[in-house]
Chains A and B, each alone.
Chain A
Amino acid sequence: MRRSSKKSSSSAAAATAGPTRGVSKEIERIDQLFYTYADSSSGMIDPEGIETLCSHLEVPHTDIRILMLAWKMGCEKQGYFTLDEWRSGLKALRADSISKLKKAFPELVTRPSNFQDFYPYAFRYCLTEDKKKCIEIPVACELLNLVLSLQFRPQVDKLVNYLKHQSEYKVINMDQWMGFLRFCNEINFPSLDNYDSDLAWPLILDNFVEWLRENKSFQHWGL
C-alpha cells in the first residue's frame, strides 16, 4: 500500500491515533484494573490483593485457574503480580476487565496443549525461596491435586496417599515432579503392567509402584 506523506502522516496519525487509542485504552484499562488490586507502597498486587481479585472472579484462590493466570502472566514470585506481568497476562487473554477475565478462564483450563509448559511452571511457582529446588511433601500433594487431578484422578489419589504415608522423602524436586507427569501419561493404570523399574524412573516412583503392588495383594486378600 502506498502512502502519501500527508496521508501517511495523517493516516499514520489516524493509524496511531486509532489503534493507539484502542490499544492504549486497553492498556489503560488493564493498568487501572491492576491498581485497584495493587498495594500502593509496593506497587504490586500482593497476596491480599490476589485474594480480593479471586473473590471478584468468584474463584477460590487455591483454584488452578489462578495458577494458570499466573503462568500466563509469567509470574515469578508466588503470591505477587507485577504490573508487567499483569499486562502481559491480561493482554494474552485479551481481557481488560474482570468479566472478560472470567470468560477467559474456561479456555485456560481446557487448553491442554500448553500443559507441558504449565506443569513445571506450577512447580517453580511454589518454590518459596530463590535458591530452593524442592517443595515440601504437603505442598506437592496440594499441587498435584490442583494440577493433575482433573486429568488423572485415580493416579493422583493413590500418589498423594503414598506420599503422605512414606517417610523416605521429605521433599520433591523438579525431576521427580516431571516424573509424576510422565508416569500418568505413559503408565497403564491401575494395571501398572508396563512399568519397568530398571528404566530411569525416579526412585520415588519405583517405591510407589512397589507399594501399590503390595497393597493390591492385600486388597486381594480382603485386608
Chain B
Amino acid sequence: MASAASAALLSYLSLSFPLLPHYSPRGTQPHAAAAAASAEKAASLSPLGFRCLRAAAASLAAMAGQERRTIDLEEGWAFMQKGITKLKNILEGKPEPQFSSEDYMMLYTTIYNMCTQKPPHDYSQQLYDKYRESFEEYITSMVLPSLRDKHDEFMLRELVKRWSNHKIMVRWLSRFFFYLDRYFISRRSLTPLEQVGLTCFRDLIYQEIKGQVKGAVIALIDKEREGEQIDRALLKNVLGIFVEIGLGSMECYENDFEDFLLKDTTDYYSLKAQSWILEDSCPDYMIKAEECLKKEKERVGHYLHISSEQKLLEKVQNELLAQYATPLLEKEHSGCFALLRDDKEEDLSRMYRLFSKITRGLEPIANMFKTHVTNEGTALVKQAEDSASNKKPEKKDMVGMQEQVFVWKIIELHDKYVAYVTECFQGHTLFHKALKEAFEVFCNKGVSGSSSAELLATFCDNILKKGCSEKLSDEAIEDALEKVKCVEVFKEFYQTRTKHRKLTWIYSLGTCNINAKFEAKTIELIVTTYQAALLLLFNGSDRLSYSEIVTQLNLSDDDVVRLLHSLSCAKYKILNKEPANRSISPNDVFEFNSKFTDRMRRIKIPLPPVDEKKKVVEDVDKDRRYAIDASIVRIMKSRKVMGHQQLVAECVEQLSRMFKPDFKAIKKRIEDLITRDYLEREKDNANVYRYLA
C-alpha cells in the first residue's frame, strides 16, 4: 500500500508542482527514489508544507477511497504506535533517524482512513482516547520518574527539558492526529488535540511538582539576593512554564508562584530592615534600599514575568520604607533634620525619590523641611533683633545696616531653599507649600520694631537707588568735561535716544570731584552734588551762617543739616563750625577750614543716609490717616448720626482689608474732623456725632 500511495502522491505532486520531473506510476526504482527525495525536499515540514501534504494525502486517500481496504483498530493502532515510539525515542535522545515526510504522510493517512471508514470501523473516538493515553503513558512511565529522583536545581533543569520535549511531542502527535481536530473534535466540541496534550502534562506533572518547583526557584532567588550567582536562564525557563501552563491565563503563575514569591520577599526584606534600621545611618539605609529596589527591578527583567514588577517593588518599598519611615526620618544624627542642617542634597534627593513612591510618604518630610526652614528664618530674626538691641546710641545709623543685612540673609535663605525644592524635591507642590508656610511664620515677625514688609520695602528702595546712581555717574563720565556742557550734551544725547520722555535729574544721587586748595596741599574731595554746591558757596564768602546757606541752597532744613554735618562734624572737617559742637543748629556759623589736611590726596566725604525707616513709617502713617478720614466721612455721610463706639467699630471694619487702625488714631481723626467742621457732637450727648453737610 505504501508504494501505491507514494506513486499516487508523486503523480499528484507532478500535477501540482510542474517543475518536478514527470513520472509514470510505474517508474523505475532510481527514479522513484529520486522522486521521493525531491518530494521530501519539496514538501518540507513547514506549516505550508504540512498543508500541502495534508491536502495531497487527503486527495490521495479520496481517490483511493473506493478501493481502500478497511483498517481495523488494532492494526492501525499498532502502526501508529510505531510512529509514536519513534518520536519518543527521538525525544529521549536515542539514536533514531528523523521522521521523513513519507513517515509523516503514512501516519496521517492512517488516522484519516480510520476516521473515514464506514461504521463500525470509524474509530475517531477511540483514536481520540488513545491519543490522550499516549501522553499519559509516556509521562507516567518516563517523565515522572525522571523528575522524581531529582531535586533543587537539577530537578528544575530536568523539568525544563521535559517540558520542552513535551511541547514537541504535542506538536507532532497533534499533527499526526490532525484529522480528528478537523471533524470529530469540532463537531462534538471536544477539547482540541493540542490542549489535550498540554493538559496531560499539567495534570500529571505540574500539579504534583509545582510546590517543589516553586520552593526551588525561590531558594535560588534568595541565594541571588544574598549575592550568589545563579542560572538566570534556567529560572526564566522554569517561570515560563508557570506562564504557559496556564494555557492563556496567568492563574498558575500567580497562584502557584507569584504569591509565594511576594510573601518570601516580604519576609526577606522585613528581616533585613530590622537590622539595618538599627545599624545604619539614614543615608546608608536609604542607599541600601535604593540598591535593593534596583536589584529587584532587574530581577524582573532577567527572569520574572513583567506583571510581577509592580507588586514586587511595592512589597520591597513597604518593608524597607513605609514600615520604617518614622524611625528612619527621625534618626538622631542622620535623619531628615540632620541632612537639612548639613546640606546633604544628594541624600535628600534620594529620600525624595524613595518616599515619593509611598502613599503619603512625602508628608512627614515636607513637614520636617518646613520646620527646619522656619527655624532657620526665626534664628535670623532673632539675630537681627539681638544686634539691633545691642546698638550703641552713636551707632544709630548702623541699625539700618543690620536690618539690611537681615534682608539679604532672608533672600539668601529663600534662594537656597527654593533650589532645594526644585532640585532635591523635584518641584513637588507639597514642598513649595512647606517653604511658603515657613516663610510666612517668620516673615511676620518684626525686627526691632519694623515689620519685615517695611524692611523689604526699604531694601528695594536702596537697591533701586544704588543701581540708579551708578548709571547716572557712568553716563555723566561718558560725556563732556565741563559741568554745564555735560548737562547740555547729555540732554541732547538723551533726546536723540528717547523721544517723548521727560529727563529729570536726581541730584541727591550725583557725585562730584572738587579740588579743595587747603594751606598744606590741594586735596580732591569726592562729594555729592549737594555737598559740592554747599562748598562752592565758600568760594564767594569766607564765612556763612546757617540761614544764609539755607537761603542760597534753597533746600530743606533737614537736608542742609545733614550736609553741614557731613562737612563739619564728621570724620573730615572741611568746614569749621562755631560753636564747635557736634550738632548743627540754626545759629551756627561756618567757615572754610584752610588748615585741614590728610595724608591722602583724594578723600570721599560720605553723606549719612537719611533715616529711611522713619520716613517710610511717616509716609505710611500719612496714608493711613487719609484712609481713616475718608472712612469716617463715608460712614457719617450715610448715617448722619452715630455713636462713638459704633463709628469706631464700623471704621475698623471698613479698613480691615488694608490695615488695622488703632482706636487712638481713629479718635484723633474724629477730633480733627470736628475741628474741620465735618462733624459735630450732639448738643445733649457728647458721645454721639452728627454729620455736617
Task: Report B-chain residues with C-beta under 8 Å of the C-beta of A200.
Answer: 643-644, 667, 670, 681, 686-689
Task: Report B-chain residues with C-beta under 8 Å of the C-beta of A175.
Answer: 671, 674-675, 681
In chain B between 500 and 518, which residues have their CB closer than 8 angstroms to a CB of chain A?
A: none
Please encode chain B, from 664 to 676, with 1 for each CB lying within 8 Å of some chain A CB and 0 for all others: 1001101100110
Q: Does B59 belong to the interface (CB within 8 Å)?
A: no
Please encode chain B, from 644 to 678, with 1 for each CB lying within 8 Å of some chain A CB and 0 for all others: 11000000000000000001100110110011000
* Residue contact A198 to B664, C-beta cutoff 8 Å: no
Please encode chain A, from 133 to 149, with 1 for each CB lying within 8 Å of some chain B CB and 0 for all others: 11000000000000000
Task: Report A-chain residues with C-beta under 8 Å of the C-beta of B675.
Answer: 133-134, 173-175
Task: Report B-chain residues with C-beta under 8 Å of the C-beta of A174.
Answer: 675
Task: Report B-chain residues with C-beta under 8 Å of the C-beta of A133.
Answer: 675
Interface size on B, residues (CB 8 A): 16
* Residue contact B686 to A182, C-beta cutoff 8 Å: yes
A203 and chain B: residue at smallest CB distance: B667
Task: Report A-chain residues with C-beta under 8 Å of the C-beta of B668.
Answer: 203
With contact pairs A175-B671, A175-B675, A175-B681 given, residues A206 and B687 touching in the complex (Cβ less than 8 Å): no
B682 and chain A: residue at smallest CB distance: A200
Q: How large is the interface on A (under 10, 10 to 19, 20 to 34, 35 or more residues)?
A: 10 to 19
Other A-B contacts than A133-B675, A178-B686, 5 sampled, CB-CB below 8 A, are: A200-B643, A200-B670, A200-B686, A203-B664, A206-B664
Binding site for A on B (CB under 8 A): 643-645, 663-664, 667-668, 670-671, 674-675, 681, 686-689
Q: Does A52 belong to the interface (CB within 8 Å)?
A: no
Task: Report A-chain residues with C-beta under 8 Å of the C-beta of B670.
Answer: 200
* Residue contact A198 to B671, C-beta cutoff 8 Å: no
Task: Compute how far the CA of A179 lies from the CA of B687 in the bound complex, rounded to whole angstroms.
Answer: 11
Q: Does A202 belong to the interface (CB within 8 Å)?
A: yes
With contact pairs A133-B675, A175-B675 given, residues A199 and B664 touching in the complex (Cβ less than 8 Å): no
Task: Compute how far the CA of A178 lies from the CA of B685 in the bound complex, rounded to whole angstroms.
Answer: 12
10 example contacts (A-B, Cβ-Cβ < 8 A) are as follows: A173-B675, A174-B675, A175-B671, A175-B674, A176-B671, A199-B687, A200-B681, A200-B686, A203-B664, A206-B664
Task: Report B-chain residues with C-beta under 8 Å of the C-beta of A202.
Answer: 667, 671
Task: Report B-chain residues with C-beta under 8 Å of the C-beta of A176.
Answer: 671
Task: Report A-chain residues with C-beta under 8 Å of the C-beta of B644.
Answer: 199-200
* Residue contact A198 to B663, C-beta cutoff 8 Å: yes
B688 and chain A: residue at smallest CB distance: A200
Task: Report B-chain residues with C-beta under 8 Å of the C-beta of A206.
Answer: 664, 667
B415 → chain A closest CB, angstroms: 45
Task: Report B-chain residues with C-beta under 8 Å of the C-beta of A203.
Answer: 664, 667-668, 671
Central interface residue in B667, B687, B689, by most chain A CB within 10 Å: B667
Task: Compute how far the CA of A78 lies from the CA of B626 in the bound complex, rounded to whole angstroms.
Answer: 36
B233 → chain A closest CB, angstroms: 90
Task: Report B-chain residues with C-beta under 8 Å of the C-beta of A199.
Answer: 644-645, 687
In chain A between 145 and 160, which residues have their CB closer than 8 angstroms to a CB of chain B?
A: none
B685 and chain A: residue at smallest CB distance: A200
Central interface residue in A174, A182, A202, by most chain B CB within 10 Å: A202
B687 and chain A: residue at smallest CB distance: A200
Task: Compute how far the CA of A203 lies from the CA of B686 in the bound complex, rounded to whole angstroms.
Answer: 14
Once A and B bind, how many residue pairs between them come within 8 Å at the CB atom? 37
Task: Compute how far the CA of A199 lies from the CA of B674 in the bound complex, rounded to whole angstroms.
Answer: 16
In chain A between 166 and 223, which residues have their CB closer than 8 angstroms to a CB of chain B?
A: 173-176, 178-179, 182, 198-200, 202-203, 206
Task: Compute how far the CA of A200 lies from the CA of B674 in the bound complex, rounded to whole angstroms.
Answer: 12
A167 → chain B closest CB, angstroms: 16
Cβ 8 A contact of B645, one of A173, A178, A198: A198
Task: Compute how far the CA of A134 lies from the CA of B667 in the bound complex, rounded to whole angstroms.
Answer: 18
B382 → chain A closest CB, angstroms: 32
Task: Compute how far the CA of A206 lies from the CA of B670 in the bound complex, rounded to whole angstroms.
Answer: 14
Task: Compute how far the CA of A63 lies from the CA of B209 in the bound complex, rounded to whole angstroms.
Answer: 129
Task: Compute how far the CA of A198 lies from the CA of B663 in the bound complex, rounded to whole angstroms.
Answer: 8
B663 and chain A: residue at smallest CB distance: A198
A174 → chain B closest CB, angstroms: 8
Task: Report A-chain residues with C-beta under 8 Å of the C-beta of B663.
Answer: 198
Central interface residue in A134, A174, A179, A199, by most chain B CB within 10 Å: A199
Task: Compute how far the CA of A176 lies from the CA of B675 in the bound complex, rounded to whole angstroms.
Answer: 10
B621 → chain A closest CB, angstroms: 14
Please encode chain A, from 117 to 141, with 1 for each CB lying within 8 Å of some chain B CB and 0 for all others: 0000000000000000110000000
Task: Compute how far the CA of A199 lies from the CA of B689 in the bound complex, rounded to whole angstroms.
Answer: 12
Task: Report B-chain residues with C-beta under 8 Å of the C-beta of A179.
Answer: 686
A151 → chain B closest CB, angstroms: 19
Task: Compute how far the CA of A198 lies from the CA of B667 in the bound complex, rounded to whole angstroms.
Answer: 10
Task: Report A-chain residues with C-beta under 8 Å of the C-beta of B686.
Answer: 178-179, 182, 200
B214 → chain A closest CB, angstroms: 84
Please encode chain A, from 90 to 120, with 1 for each CB lying within 8 Å of some chain B CB and 0 for all others: 0000000000000000000000000000000
Task: Compute how far the CA of A29 lies from the CA of B689 in the bound complex, rounded to whole angstroms.
Answer: 48
Task: Compute how far the CA of A202 lies from the CA of B643 in the bound complex, rounded to whole angstroms.
Answer: 14
Task: Report A-chain residues with C-beta under 8 Å of the C-beta of B671.
Answer: 173, 175-176, 202-203
Task: Compute how far the CA of A164 lies from the CA of B671 in the bound complex, rounded to whole angstroms.
Answer: 21
Task: Compute how far the CA of A175 lies from the CA of B674 in the bound complex, rounded to whole angstroms.
Answer: 7
B670 and chain A: residue at smallest CB distance: A200
A119 → chain B closest CB, angstroms: 14
B668 and chain A: residue at smallest CB distance: A203
Task: Report B-chain residues with C-beta under 8 Å of the C-beta of A178.
Answer: 681, 686
Task: Compute how far the CA of A203 lies from the CA of B669 in the bound complex, rounded to whole angstroms.
Answer: 10
B665 and chain A: residue at smallest CB distance: A203
B669 → chain A closest CB, angstroms: 10
A129 → chain B closest CB, angstroms: 15
Task: Compute how far the CA of A182 lies from the CA of B687 in the bound complex, rounded to whole angstroms.
Answer: 11
A203 → chain B closest CB, angstroms: 5
B57 → chain A closest CB, angstroms: 116
Task: Compute how far the CA of A176 lies from the CA of B671 in the bound complex, rounded to whole angstroms.
Answer: 8
Task: Compute how far the CA of A131 lies from the CA of B667 in the bound complex, rounded to whole angstroms.
Answer: 24
Task: Compute how far the CA of A174 lies from the CA of B679 in the bound complex, rounded to whole angstroms.
Answer: 13
Task: Compute how far the CA of A106 lies from the CA of B670 in the bound complex, rounded to whole angstroms.
Answer: 40
Task: Compute how far the CA of A174 lies from the CA of B680 in the bound complex, rounded to whole angstroms.
Answer: 11
B689 and chain A: residue at smallest CB distance: A200
A186 and chain B: residue at smallest CB distance: B686
B674 and chain A: residue at smallest CB distance: A175
B625 → chain A closest CB, angstroms: 14
Task: Compute how far the CA of A173 lies from the CA of B671 in the bound complex, rounded to whole angstroms.
Answer: 9
A152 → chain B closest CB, angstroms: 17
B688 → chain A closest CB, angstroms: 8
Task: Compute how far the CA of A182 lies from the CA of B668 in the bound complex, rounded to whole angstroms.
Answer: 18
B665 → chain A closest CB, angstroms: 9
Task: Compute how far the CA of A200 lies from the CA of B669 in the bound complex, rounded to whole angstroms.
Answer: 12
Task: Compute how far the CA of A189 lies from the CA of B353 in the bound complex, rounded to whole angstroms.
Answer: 75
Task: Compute how far the CA of A38 lies from the CA of B423 in the bound complex, rounded to whole angstroms.
Answer: 95
Task: Report A-chain residues with C-beta under 8 Å of the C-beta of B688.
Answer: 200
Task: Report B-chain residues with C-beta under 8 Å of the C-beta of A173.
Answer: 671, 674-675
Task: Compute how far the CA of A71 lies from the CA of B668 in the bound complex, rounded to whole angstroms.
Answer: 31
B364 → chain A closest CB, angstroms: 48
B677 and chain A: residue at smallest CB distance: A133
Central interface residue in A134, A175, A182, A206, by most chain B CB within 10 Å: A175
Task: Compute how far the CA of A178 lies from the CA of B688 in the bound complex, rounded to whole angstroms.
Answer: 14
B673 and chain A: residue at smallest CB distance: A175
Central interface residue in A173, A179, A203, by most chain B CB within 10 Å: A203
B126 → chain A closest CB, angstroms: 113
Task: Compute how far the CA of A125 lies from the CA of B687 in the bound complex, rounded to whole angstroms.
Answer: 26
A179 and chain B: residue at smallest CB distance: B686
Task: Compute how far the CA of A223 lies from the CA of B681 in the bound complex, rounded to whole angstroms.
Answer: 40
Task: Compute how far the CA of A174 lies from the CA of B663 in the bound complex, rounded to whole angstroms.
Answer: 22
Task: Report A-chain residues with C-beta under 8 Å of the C-beta of B689.
Answer: 200
Task: Compute how far the CA of A199 lies from the CA of B643 in the bound complex, rounded to whole angstroms.
Answer: 9
Task: Report B-chain residues with C-beta under 8 Å of the C-beta of A182.
Answer: 686
Task: Compute how far the CA of A104 lies from the CA of B314 in the bound complex, rounded to whole angstroms.
Answer: 110
B676 → chain A closest CB, angstroms: 9
Task: Report B-chain residues with C-beta under 8 Å of the C-beta of A134.
Answer: 675
Task: Compute how far the CA of A206 lies from the CA of B665 in the bound complex, rounded to whole angstroms.
Answer: 12
Task: Compute how far the CA of A133 lies from the CA of B673 in the bound complex, rounded to whole angstroms.
Answer: 13
A207 and chain B: residue at smallest CB distance: B664
Q: Which 8 A-B pairs have the closest CB atoms?
A: A200-B644, A200-B687, A175-B674, A203-B667, A173-B675, A203-B668, A199-B687, A202-B671
